[in-house]
Each structure stands twice: as structure tokens, then as C-alpha cells.
Amino acid sequence: MSSRGVKYVILCEDKQARTFIERALKSRGVGARDIRTVPLPSTIGGGAGEHYVRQRAPEQIKVHRTAHVNAALIIHVDADPANSVQYRWQQLDAALKEQRQAPVTDNERIARLVPKRNIETWIRFYLNGPPVDEVQAYPKYTGTESACWPAAEAFAQDAAGNVQPPQAPGSLLLGLDEFRRVL
């Protein structure tokens, strides 16, 4: 799929995820004007990022499904230590069901990026190499979120090239598959 003329909407938990996803898209040739991020929870009163994304996902998916433009939706929510990627997908599907919407299908341009623990796990993998632990909390880049740019670019390149990096954590491999659907 080509990203030319596609409008991208990002629904994510935090500034780090937004920075990572935006940079991944830009590295694939997507212009800044073609990327729109739903306001972050921290900008509209705070609260748990995961809950914020889960609450807003059905509305964003509905808008995406009814849009008359070439669009893609990227949803980011961390799995955290106690949950699996599949569980987060089930939660998103349950939120859709509550709103009388169908679950996300493979033929929709909707990517559900669910890093196990959090986005810093994926960043750590690309910046420092394997192995990474999907339970360990890696340092946040608060104030220096752009430090993730090389990781985001490598992620986008792997997705576009259909690469499965050796020793990549399971959530990252699933994330690459999801990201490919919107490129």
C-alpha cells in the first residue's frame, strides 16, 4: 500500500507514543499535514492513558469507517505488565461492541499498536538491541521524546520491508504487522 494522499489519525496514550508514531510515518514519506493526533489525555485533564484510548477508540473508528477520504487510523495503547496484546485488542473490541460496532477486521486501515509493558520497550529494542524484557520498565524520555526517532525510523523500515527482527519481542512483531496495514 502507498501512503501517498492518505490522511493519518493517531489515537495514543502519551507524548512518547505520539512522537514515535509520527516519526515512523514521516520516515515513510507522510507529510506533517497528513497526520492528525487526537488530543492526548495529558492535555485535557490527565487520567489513565489506557482508559482514555479505550473510551475514544469507538468514536474514532466510527469516524474512520464513515470517512469519505483515503484515511488510516493508528491506535496505541500499552499492554502494561499484567495484560497481553490480545487482551488489549479484546478490550478495544468490547468497547466497539458496547457502541454496537463490529470488531476491527484485517482489511481495514486500522492499526492497533500494543507494546508489551510500554512503547519504551520497543524503543529500547531498536536503540540498544536485543534482548529486551517486556515486563521491565525502561526509562521514559520525558522532555527528550525525540530521542526515539532512530527507533521509530527503524520500526517503519522493518514494517515496510516486511522484516521480522531477530529476537524481537512478540508485541513488536505484532505491531509491525499492524503498522504494515496502514502504510
Let me know if residue 2 belongs to a domain. Answer: no
Let me know if residue 127 belongs to a domain. Answer: yes
pLDDT per residue, tens digit, the chain (183 aa), is 445 678 999 999 999 999 999 999 999 999 999 999 999 987 776 668 899 999 999 999 999 999 878 999 999 999 988 999 999 999 999 999 999 999 999 999 999 999 999 999 999 999 999 999 999 999 999 999 999 999 999 999 999 999 999 999 999 999 999 999 999
Query: Which triple of cell numbers denotes residue 149?
Result: 526517532
Residue 134 one-letter amino acid: E
For 92-157, strand residue ranges (E) read 110-113
Distance CA 179, CA 3 (A): 12
Let me know if residue 91 belongs to a domain. Answer: yes
Let me know if residue 1 belongs to a domain. Answer: no
Domain count within the chain: 1
Let me know if residue 77 belongs to a domain. Answer: yes
Cell 500494543 sits at which residue? 114
pTM of the complete model:
0.94
**The pLDDT of residue 2:** 44
The enclosing domain of 125 has a CATH number of: 3.40.50
Point out which residues pair with 116 in neighbouring strands. Answer: 80
Total number of residues shown for the chain = 183
- Per the structure, the complete domain to which residue 47 belongs is given by 7-180
- DSSP helix/strand/coil, 139: coil
